């Protein structure tokens, strides 16, 4: 993609991120690969809703600023690691979607085989190990997962999505937060019913048509395939987490009633 066009599209995505409240204040960052050694990135210390094309910077594959008046994003190592591991991608979006991030705080995975459309577009949505923000640890925790996943939740640190272009990466972020919302509501209504192994096989056939090869490649102990769930699985411990979610839900409901009741 020509740099001028890349700048225009990046700013559109940044404004959408802010409008949708997937980022606040100076949170989040976006990058686009211009060539093998040139990457367009959002600078450090800017509200994504206020960015202009002039504010964007270009760095090399070591994170050195090649052009632009501002500092390179502090998360540059994570972006560059994604590009190193995935030569097929051209864009990376890191955001802080509230509900998806809350699931990681509660220690609950949304990687389960629940929604067919998520499976055959993303494969699954794993959660990384915790890494201290802005440090090289962030590159380490995504290194293996990014090889087979286009979308993931960063433990206590938002989400990371990649794609063939910046809109593809952005829409995968929307899919993550949408899945988190549906999962949250479903847990309020009762136990989540996962897809059976036969249903997963049928979805896998569709997934191949979309070029998604990571479907049920990794086991997240969801139990849908009939395999015995390990004791360390969050399914086994979900009863404890149900109390947390119920308490939060009740507190929100009570506040609404106080305000509008």
> Which spans in 41-189 are helix H?
76-85, 98-105, 116-122, 137-142, 166-189
Of the candidates 216, 197, 89, the residue with the CA atom closest to the CA atom of residue 142: 89
Catalytic residue flag (residue 137): no
Candidates 9, 75, 81, 177; catalytic one: 75
Q: If you ran DSSP here, which 8-state letter would residue 199 be given?
A: H
Question: In angstroms, rounded to a whole number, what is the distance separating the alpha carbons of residues 32 and 6?
Answer: 7
* Domains, the chain, with CATH or none: 3-192 (3.40.225.10)
- The whole-number pLDDT of residue 181 equals 92
Question: In angstroms, rounded to a whole number, what is the distance separating the alpha carbons of residues 7 and 1?
Answer: 10
- Count of residues making up the chain: 261
- The whole-number pLDDT of residue 113 equals 76
- The whole-number pLDDT of residue 232 equals 41
Give this prediction's pTM: 0.81
- The whole-number pLDDT of residue 154 equals 96
Q: How confident is the prediction for the chain on average, in pLDDT? A: 83
Tens-binned pLDDT, residue by residue, of the chain (261 aa): 899 999 999 999 999 999 999 999 999 999 999 999 999 999 999 999 999 999 999 999 999 999 999 999 989 999 999 999 999 999 999 999 999 999 999 888 887 777 887 877 787 889 999 999 889 999 999 999 999 999 999 999 999 999 999 999 999 999 999 999 998 898 888 888 888 878 877 887 777 777 765 545 444 554 333 344 444 444 333 344 445 445 545 544 454 455 445
């Amino acid at each position: 993609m020509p740099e001028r066009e890349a700048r225009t599209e990046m700013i559109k995505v940044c404004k959408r991120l802010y409008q949708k409240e997937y980022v606040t204040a100076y949170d989040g960052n976006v990058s686009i690969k211009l060539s093998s050694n040139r990457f367009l990135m959002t600078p450090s210390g800017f509200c994504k809703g206020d960015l202009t094309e002039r504010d964007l910077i270009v760095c090399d594959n070591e994170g050195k600023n090649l052009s632009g008046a501002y500092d390179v994003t502090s998360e540059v190592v994570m972006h560059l690691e994604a590009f190193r591991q995935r030569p097929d991608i051209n864009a990376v979006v890191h955001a802080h979607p509230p509900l998806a991030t809350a699931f990681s705080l509660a220690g609950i995975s949304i990687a389960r085989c629940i929604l067919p459309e998520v499976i055959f577009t993303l494969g699954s949505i794993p959660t990384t190990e915790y890494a201290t923000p802005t440090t090289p640890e962030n590159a380490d925790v995504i290194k293996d997962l990014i090889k087979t996943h286009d979308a993931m939740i960063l433990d206590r640190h938002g989400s990371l999505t990649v794609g063939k272009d910046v809109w593809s990466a952005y829409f995968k972020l929307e899919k993550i937060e949408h899945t988190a919302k549906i999962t949250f509501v479903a847990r309020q209504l009762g136990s989540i019913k996962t897809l059976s192994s036969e249903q997963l096989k049928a979805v896998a056939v569709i997934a191949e048509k979309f070029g998604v090869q990571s479907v049920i490649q990794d086991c997240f102990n969801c139990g849908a395939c009939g395999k015995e769930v390990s004791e360390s699985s969050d399914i086994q411990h979900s009863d404890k987490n149900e109390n947390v979610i119920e308490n939060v839900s009740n507190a929100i409901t009570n506040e609404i009633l106080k305000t509008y009741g």
